[in-house]
Structure 1
Amino acid sequence: MTKGYEEFEFDLPSALLINLVKLFDEMDSSALSIWNVASIPEEQGVYQLLHKDSLVYIGKTDAEAGLKKRLDRHAWTIQHRHNLDPMDVTFKAVRVFVFTAIDLETQLIKHYGAENIVSWNNSGFGSNDPGRERDTTTLKAEGFDELFPVDIDREIELNLSAPTSAADALKALKEALPYTFRFETAGKRSRKPHLDLTDTPIDRLPKAKTTRLIIETIVSQLPAGWQATALPSRVILYKEKRDYIHGTIIARSL
């Protein structure tokens, strides 16, 4: 080495990880509710979810969704689940200004995973609707949806009255639910509801507004051959007669 000259390489990822872990460990968490999340900025960063004070999920933002959008989506996902009280789920979120080139999510998972399993990561939690081809997929025994399946008997807020069409009633239900509700369309790549749904008038709806009762009432007025099925993570309605490994039939039209 030339006298009067040295080389120094600053390990930014390691330094950032050390400081982030320290900050997370010192932070108080907040209940994961849409009201608390409303004040979180839509910025880049990382976050933790805790269930009964145990760390269960580590996430990061991307170009499509910042901290607010990510947390808002998770706050919606934990609603209407068996075995899961939303009040037991809290969050910690940190905006990170130096972010794009560093995979902090992976580093944080490795750090905390060395002490305990971050159980909701890689469990299906936070995933988008996998689509029709995955409705028959076998679930992980300890996956999020297997442990906390959707509860279709919860009261929901739904501004819906008869008479209406089956398609409009189902669209309104889909928008009101905190989990995926998918129904058959006019074609494989079409977004328009199946003709049976657009052409069928619905002249009665249940007084009690639960997913089960609404779907039972609508299906009873559809032409023959329709089946509604509750899967652990979603509800589907198709013109079929089929049994699903992880599914429970809600109603069939005769």
Structure 2
Amino acid sequence: MGSDDAAILIGVSQYRDPSLLDVPAARNSLHAMHRLLTSPELCGWSEDQVHILEDPAGATDLALEVHRLAEQTTGTLLIYFVGHGVVSRSGALCLTAGDTQLRYPDLTGLEYDKVRSALLDSPAQVKLVILDCCYSGRIIQGLAGAGESQLVDSTDIRGVYTLTAADQVAHVPSHGESAGTSFTQALCDVVRSGIPGAPPALALTDIYPKLKSTLKAHGFPEPNQRGTDTVESYPFSRNVAYAGGSGFRLLPQEHVDRFLRILAAQPRHDLTADRIGELEDWPGVYLLHRESGDASEILYAAMGDRSIAARLGQHLRKISGRCHIDVRDLSFSYLKLDDDLGVVAPDRLVLQHLHAQGRSPRWNNSGFGNKDAGRMRDSHRRSSDHFDVLHPIDLSWRVRFDDPSLGVSAQQMAAQLRAQLPYTFRIEPRDTELDQVRLTFPDGSLSADQAFRLLAYAMGDAWQISALVGQVLMYREQDKRYPDAIRYYAGTRTITEMPEVCKAAGLPDDF
């Protein structure tokens, strides 16, 4: 996938309204779709292209986040939703959020027309919508009566393919905590098994007949689809059941094998700023290695489509500010390339090769390459093998301030912290109170922890600084709890916690 692609995965499994039952299967389906998309052997999306919005509380914030991401996407835009779908009195499909009320879905839910608006406003060239909820098929089939033409038109957008789970009530298995919804589970199974006789790359229109027959054979609701323009032929996944054919290969296998041999033979270099600074600004593919005694492990394989040096510099900065890893144990190797990397996708070739050898790099698809995905993902619970969980941010990182004895505003202090910390420090969008509060502190460096304590004390109890395993937040909020937080700062109070996921990962109590 290109760097201008985005997949927005929305899953709602918990509801405040007792009339809407919790759906644990929705959470499982959300994570299953994430694994499917980021599998290098199948769909090949990178972690930083996939935005998981799990259990969003309010429909308004959800709509704003969908619009924001859609407006920034110029390549491929994929929107997936799993959760309750309800129909309003006017006949409109409403996607639910955590605080949606069944009695007022049009006021408290996300009407599909708002998703349609985001699709219309997005400059993306390819737009895919997958809805796993009750009544989702009605946006294609329409409802009987006066509202039918309006509902049919809700999917009539140029360059959009829509796949829906059910015209009426969708099916959710009643057994097993790890079970997903029947529709998403069947979709994942079809893609992972491949389709014999189909092309080497599967479009959703190739997948649809097999998906429909599979669901029908089990007595589940049948899906529905609608596509416009040539988006129907967009390659959604590699066909693992493809046995080869007589068609033309853009990259002959002997060229691929030679590329892999040459890459494997490249020398390793210490992951240091000096060594990275010696590299030319050139695109290519690179590997991160870790040495442990006599053993060596490939941790990460990726490409720099503009500059290998720039990507390595970003990785070095990120790793330097993490716990339980020593950058001195890491090295890198690389190979400069002259090809159009978006066409050749050398990183996928490397990942497929390593996976076939049972050597899948542990940092790929673990969140290592992720960028700050925004406020909506702050409450997302990470898995026990996520990079941020295994290597939390280092709150002992040292920072220095310009002329601290002269005093600075809270806004200036926060800005200097953001510039020096090797992890994200996100603050409330420009708030005048940050300019009005002033601080003074001793000369010399401070740890990030000491700086946050000073800043929290100055801002008072109305503000809260929350240190999560992967980033730090500063918002005008009180007693807000995040599932992946390791420390909170509010006024004079500092609270240290050990997230359950960190305990499950076997991390020591000290960060």
Aligned twin of 1:33: 272
Aligned twin of 1:134: 377
Aligned twin of 1:226: 463
2:422 to 178, 186, 191: 178
Aligned twin of 2:91: none
Deviation at 1:222, TM superposition (A): 1.2
2:454 to 208, 213, 217: 217
For residues 404 and 411 of structure 2, the distance between their equivalents in structure 1, rounded to whole angstroms, comes to: 13
For residues 159 and 19 of structure 1, the distance between their equivalents in structure 2, rounded to whole angstroms, comes to: 53
Higher RCO structure (Cα 8 Å, ≥6 apart): 1
For residues 403 and 369 of structure 2, the distance between their equivalents in structure 1, rounded to whole angstroms, comes to: 28
Aligned twin of 2:312: 71
**26 and 81 in structure 1: CA distance in 2 versus 1, 3 angstrom threshold:** same
- Which deviations, in whole Å up to 9, do the C-alpha atoms of 1:55-99 show, x marking residues without a partner? 01111122xx41111111111111121101011111111101123
Deviation at 1:24, TM superposition (A): 2.5
- Which deviations, in whole Å up to 9, do the C-alpha atoms of 1:121-171 show, x marking residues without a partner? 111012111111101101121111111111111323554514010000110
**13 and 137 in structure 1: CA distance in 2 versus 1, 3 angstrom threshold:** farther
Judge conservation of contact 1:180–1:234 (CA < 8 Å) in 2.
yes
Judge conservation of contact 1:212–1:250 (CA < 8 Å) in 2.
no
TM-score normalised according to structure 1 size: 0.87
For residues 159 and 22 of structure 1, the distance between their equivalents in structure 2, rounded to whole angstroms, comes to: 50
Which amino acid is the alignment partner of residue 152 of structure 1? Answer: L
Unaligned runs of 5+ in 2: 1-245, 493-511
SS in 1 for 2:411: helix
When Rg is computed on C-alpha atoms for both structures, the one with the higher figure is 2
For residues 351 and 331 of structure 2, the distance between their equivalents in structure 1, rounded to whole angstroms, comes to: 18
Deviation at 1:40, TM superposition (A): 1.1
Which amino acid is the alignment partner of residue 174 of structure 1? Answer: R
For residues 55-134 of structure 1, the aligned pairs below 5 Å read: 55-62=298-305, 65-100=306-341, 101-115=343-357, 116-134=359-377
SS in 2 for 1:181: strand
For residues 277 and 299 of structure 2, the distance between their equivalents in structure 1, rounded to whole angstroms, comes to: 22
**160 and 138 in structure 1: CA distance in 2 versus 1, 3 angstrom threshold:** farther
Which amino acid is the alignment partner of residue 408 of structure 2? Answer: T
1:245 to 468, 471, 483: 483
Aligned twin of 1:4: none
How many pairs does the alignment contain?
239
**207 and 146 in structure 1: CA distance in 2 versus 1, 3 angstrom threshold:** same
For residues 69 and 237 of structure 1, the distance between their equivalents in structure 2, rounded to whole angstroms, comes to: 28
For residues 302 and 467 of structure 2, the distance between their equivalents in structure 1, rounded to whole angstroms, comes to: 28
**171 and 206 in structure 1: CA distance in 2 versus 1, 3 angstrom threshold:** same
**79 and 158 in structure 1: CA distance in 2 versus 1, 3 angstrom threshold:** farther
Aligned twin of 1:47: 286
SS in 1 for 2:351: helix
Deviation at 1:207, TM superposition (A): 4.9
SS in 1 for 2:322: coil
SS in 2 for 1:78: helix
**184 and 9 in structure 1: CA distance in 2 versus 1, 3 angstrom threshold:** closer
Deviation at 1:28, TM superposition (A): 2.2
1:143 to 353, 362, 386: 386
For residues 238 and 226 of structure 1, the distance between their equivalents in structure 2, rounded to whole angstroms, comes to: 6
**Aligned-pair identity (%):** 23
For residues 389 and 320 of structure 2, the distance between their equivalents in structure 1, rounded to whole angstroms, comes to: 15
Which amino acid is the alignment partner of residue 82 of structure 1? Answer: C
**205 and 238 in structure 1: CA distance in 2 versus 1, 3 angstrom threshold:** farther
SS in 2 for 1:83: coil
Which amino acid is the alignment partner of residue 252 of structure 1? Answer: A
Aligned twin of 1:20: 259
**123 and 141 in structure 1: CA distance in 2 versus 1, 3 angstrom threshold:** same
- Which deviations, in whole Å up to 9, do the C-alpha atoms of 1:26-79 show, x marking residues without a partner? 2221111211111111111111111223101111122xx411111111111111
For residues 198 and 229 of structure 1, the distance between their equivalents in structure 2, rounded to whole angstroms, comes to: 20
Which amino acid is the alignment partner of residue 327 of structure 2? Answer: P
Unaligned runs of 5+ in 1: 1-6, 186-192
For residues 138 and 182 of structure 1, the distance between their equivalents in structure 2, rounded to whole angstroms, comes to: 18
For residues 253 and 13 of structure 1, the distance between their equivalents in structure 2, rounded to whole angstroms, comes to: 63
Judge conservation of contact 2:289–2:332 (CA < 8 Å) in 1.
yes
SS in 1 for 2:458: coil
Deviation at 1:224, TM superposition (A): 3.1
Aligned twin of 2:207: none
For residues 159 and 33 of structure 1, the distance between their equivalents in structure 2, rounded to whole angstroms, comes to: 26
**1:236 and 2:480 aligned:** no
For residues 248 and 131 of structure 1, the distance between their equivalents in structure 2, rounded to whole angstroms, comes to: 19
